[in-house]
């Protein structure tokens, strides 16, 4: 296997300037024996830059690697980037995407130089865009593959090893629909389900249609079969994904297909929460609003990208709606779902934006009352029509407007969060702690409207259990289940009725608010009569326990129907191409 020294290239961003990978100092220590036992499975690590579509694609990459015999690197090895194969799934939406990638690659080159046999692969939107230019700038990269040929990754890695030469393969059109590929899902209680890929819109600021291609829709039976498979594995929440999710059905001539799909999701036993992202205001119709309101498991949450409040700028962006239509959609959604949390995307500083245009954005944001907003400074992307428009704004003007917009949205978010205080909410506990949960002795989860909630445990749990125990951070010692359970009480055979597991649902009352999260300390209210706290065990919580015990090598997999083993949650799952939905 070739080994390449890190070149001091002017094109490379110094690693210290971009601590994206955040490698510890120990990561650069020598590794005795290179990749280790030749008979041991090669390990892999996938790192994702970008949107939910990229996260979902990364799950497919992991599934294909595991099907090919690779093994996921342990958490400890992943933290040091100690893996035989490191895959970076890239994004190309923002201007700094390229800077992030080459900063990452500069760091990984040092690791590869001391780790015999290590391979680096780059996929995703930036790979589709830059192609062989990635190897030209970073010749230690082994594989470059695009958005249209995810399935080629294992073959390209093996070919690169055999030929001792970089392999670049970029398909111009979709080769295999990603959702038909094997998948290794990170969550046992929630999953992404792609209903379409690509986009037919021509927004002047967006490079995605060029990199992802025209919209391709899956058949409803395939989507529902995947959701049912997820639910059978223990998931209780799914998020439907598409670049323009509510235009689903245009390829096979049914403009009402998305509303029908939402209603069909309501018929799936065991599916408790359905979300979707991202819709386009121009294609958002009343039948979708009705389906949201009338389907109990479709959550009262909507992400509706505004981008700009000025009609003149919307026209320049080729966004085929105007501010009045956008506000009308929000009014109709809130008329049937008064408690819906609505979020958005905003761009500041589009070419030619005047102070009057920006004032219109502030006006529409104020009227929209968004729960939160993903706010971006305009990013000039080569290959997009907006990149060549006149009147590109000075950085300092864009920055000043960005600060003003963020201040307004922060204030609105704080007000909208404050309205939640006193409400009783159901929180789906997530697998992972909030940033301050260790200090506050809380757990973290998502309410039905997708707001982040930090909740307190009853006093008898917080006083007797360490934070690491509850978070699963100290699974110490021994070969017996009891020893593991001592490190993480959520794995114990006799579980405290008030101790939730990831995937369980906890009913609490919101006691405090901040702009972008809620606090529910109702379990600590004086006296049981005042306390609002109840744990509902779920199949997802059971699946989480099964997965954690399997990872620890404890017990055997459960069996269903007497003969067939149920899959270990999180293991790769391969779906066929069903075309007939169950009756």
Write out the binding residues for [4Fe-4S] cluster. 51, 91, 125, 199, 203, 206
- Chain length of the chain: 583
The rounded distance, in Å, linking the Cα atoms of 519 and 523 is 11
What whole-number distance in Å separates Cα of residue 433 and Cα of residue 444? 6
Contact indicator for 85, 44 with CB cutoff of 8 Å: yes
Cα 298 to Cα 272: distance, rounded to the nearest angstrom: 8
Cα atoms in the Cβ-side hemisphere of radius 13 Å centred on 183: 25
**Quick one: how far is CA 101 from the chain centroid?**
19
Cα 300 from Cα 279, distance rounded (Å): 15
H or E element, residue 452: strand 452-456
Q: Is 162 exposed, middle or buried (0-12, 13-18, 19+ CB in 10 A)?
A: exposed
State how far the Cα of 582 lies from the Cα of 228, in Å rounded to an integer. 10
| CA distance linking residue 127 with residue 144, whole number of Å | 6
Q: Tokens at residue 415, please?
A: 């007000």
The residue whose two tokens read 């470059």 is 144
Per the CB < 8 A criterion, the answer to whether 398 and 352 are in contact is no
**Is the distance from CB of 522 to CB of 532 less than 8 angstroms?**
yes
| Separation between Cα atoms, residue 492 and residue 477, nearest integer Å | 14
Nearest-angstrom CA–CA distance, 31 and 28: 9
- To the nearest 10°, the Cα dihedral for 238, 240, 246, 248? -130
φ/ψ of 237, rounded to 5, equals -135, 140
How far is Cα 579 from Cα 224, in angstroms, rounded to an integer? 10
Query: CB–CB of 423/451 below 8 Å?
Result: no
The DSSP line for 160-223 is: HHHHTS-EEE--SS-SS-GGGS-B--S-SSEEEEE-EES-----TT--HHHHH-S-EEPPHHHH
**Cβ distance 79 to 365 under 8 Å?**
no
Residue positions forming the annotated binding site: 51, 91, 125, 199, 203, 206
Reading the block at residue 114, the tokens are 């001391």
Nearest to 441 by CA among 485, 484, 527, 499: 499
- Determine contact, residues 541/505, Cβ cutoff 8 Å: no
């Amino acid at each position: 296997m070739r080994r390449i020294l890190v070149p001091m290239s002017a094109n490379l961003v110094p690693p210290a300037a971009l601590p994206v990978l955040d490698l510890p100092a120990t990561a650069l220590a020598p590794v005795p024996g290179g990749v280790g036992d030749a008979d041991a499975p090669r390990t892999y690590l996938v790192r994702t830059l970008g949107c939910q579509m990229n996260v979902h694609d990364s799950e497919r990459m992991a599934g294909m690697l595991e099907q090919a015999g690779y093994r996921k690197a342990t958490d400890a090895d992943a933290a040091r980037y100690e893996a035989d194969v490191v895959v970076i799934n890239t994004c190309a939406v923002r201007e700094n995407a390229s800077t992030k990638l080459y900063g990452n690659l500069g760091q990984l080159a040092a690791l590869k130089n001391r780790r015999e046999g290590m391979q680096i692969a780059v996929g995703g939107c930036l790979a589709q865009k830059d192609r062989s230019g990635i190897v030209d700038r970073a010749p230690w990269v082994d594989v470059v593959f695009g958005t249209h040929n995810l399935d080629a990754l294992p073959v390209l890695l093996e070919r690169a090893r055999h030929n001792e030469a970089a392999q670049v393969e970029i398909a111009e059109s979709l080769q295999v629909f990603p959702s038909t590929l094997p998948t290794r899902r990170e969550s046992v209680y929630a999953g992404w389900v792609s209903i379409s890929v690509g986009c037919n819109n021509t927004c002047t600021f967006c490079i995605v249609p060029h990199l992802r291609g025209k919209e391709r829709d899956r058949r409803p039976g395939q989507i529902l079969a995947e959701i049912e498979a997820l639910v059978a594995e223990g998931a209780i929440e799914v998020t439907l994904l598409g670049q323009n999710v509510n235009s689903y059905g245009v390829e096979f001539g049914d403009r009402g297909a998305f509303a029908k799909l939402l209603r069909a999701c309501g018929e799936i036993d065991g599916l408790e929460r359905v979300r979707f992202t991202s819709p386009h205001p121009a294609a958002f119709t009343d039948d979708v609003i009705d389906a949201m309101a009338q389907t109990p498991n479709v959550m009262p949450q909507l992400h509706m990208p505004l981008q700009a409040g000025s009609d003149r700028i919307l026209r320049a962006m080729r966004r085929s709606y105007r501010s009045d239509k956008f506000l009308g959609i929000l009014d109709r959604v809130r008329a049937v779902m008064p408690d819906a949390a609505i979020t958005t995307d905003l761009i500041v500083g589009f070419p030619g934006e005047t102070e009057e245009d920006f004032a219109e954005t502030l006006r529409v944001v104020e009227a929209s009352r968004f729960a939160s907003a993903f706010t971006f400074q305009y990013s000039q992307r080569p290959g997009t029509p907006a990149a060549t428009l006149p009147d590109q704004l000075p950085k300092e003007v864009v920055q000043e407007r960005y600060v003003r917009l963020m201040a307004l949205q922060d204030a609105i978010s704080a007000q909208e969060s404050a309205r939640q205080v006193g409400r009783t909410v159901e929180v789906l506990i997530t697998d992972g702690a909030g940033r301050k949960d260790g200090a506050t002795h809380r757990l973290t989860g998502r309410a039905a409207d997708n707001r982040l909630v930090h909740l307190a445990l009853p006093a008898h749990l917080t006083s007797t259990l360490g934070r690491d125990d509850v978070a699963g951070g100290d699974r110490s010692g021994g070969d017996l289940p009891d020893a593991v359970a001592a490190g993480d009480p959520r794995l114990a055979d006799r579980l405290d009725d008030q101790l939730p597991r990831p995937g369980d649902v906890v009913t609490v009352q919101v006691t405090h608010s901040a702009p972008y999260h809620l606090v529910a300390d109702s379990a600590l209210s004086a006296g049981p009569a005042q306390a609002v706290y109840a744990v509902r065990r779920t199949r997802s919580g059971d699946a989480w326990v099964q997965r954690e015990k399997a990872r620890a090598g404890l017990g055997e997999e459960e069996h269903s129907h007497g003969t067939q083993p149920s899959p270990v949650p999180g293991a790769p799952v391969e779906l066929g191409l069903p075309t007939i939905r169950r009756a």
